[in-house]
Amino acid sequence: MLTRAKFLRLSGLTAAALVVAPEALPKSSDGVVRVKSAYGFQETIERLKRDIAAKGIRFFSEIDQSKLAADAGIKLDPSTLLVFGNPPLGTQFMTANPNAGLDWPVRLLVIQDSAGAVWTIYTDFAWIAARHGIVNRSEQFKMASMVIASITSSVKV
């Protein structure tokens, strides 16, 4: 079992890097957590990527969805998907249920809506646990929730 201390050791994170108390974690009834950014679209992406790197989390990919839409002749408001994760933590979910691989690594969507507001959007980890019927990894899901809340807090209004 991956304890909080072992996760922190494996990930290179320190407890101070997780500045979000568990009771302050965003709640979601539909599995989608939206956090409004205090910054413009591109600055939000750069700040998130810096925070992910500073936490020693592996960054896998940045997908510019609005560019892909434009290439297909479709107008889409700014939308970029960031894909990142920590294999020692994420694989804990897949060992509980291989179908959880649909939700790992973590995906964080950054969008700018038609009013100009910038949002970070991700799937609630408690919802992921319920979706895959994972009941024996509560500490790991709690840790994942704290990490993503800490990352999004780096841009939160």
Q: Residue 149 domain-assigned?
A: yes
Q: Residue 24 domain-assigned?
A: no
Q: Residue 141 domain-assigned?
A: yes
Q: Quick one: which of 58, 61, 62 has its CA closest to 91?
A: 58
Q: Residue 51 domain-assigned?
A: yes
Q: Residue 19 domain-assigned?
A: no
Total of domains in the chain: 1
CA 5 – CA 140 distance, rounded (Å): 11
Write the DSSP string, 86-106.
Answer: -HHHHHHHHHH-GGGGGS-SE
Q: Residue 55 domain-assigned?
A: yes
Q: Containing domain of residue 116, as a range?
A: 32-153
Q: Residue 2 domain-assigned?
A: no
Digit-by-digit pLDDT tens for the chain (157 residues) are 444 455 455 445 544 444 444 444 455 568 999 999 999 999 999 999 999 999 999 999 999 999 999 999 999 999 999 999 999 998 999 999 999 999 999 999 999 999 999 999 999 999 999 999 999 999 999 999 999 999 999 999 9
CA 70 – CA 66 distance, rounded (Å): 6
CA 21 – CA 143 distance, rounded (Å): 11
Q: Residue 8 domain-assigned?
A: no
Q: What is the reported pTM?
A: 0.82
- For residue 131, the domain's CATH number is 3.30.310.70
Question: What's the pLDDT score for residue 1?
Answer: 46
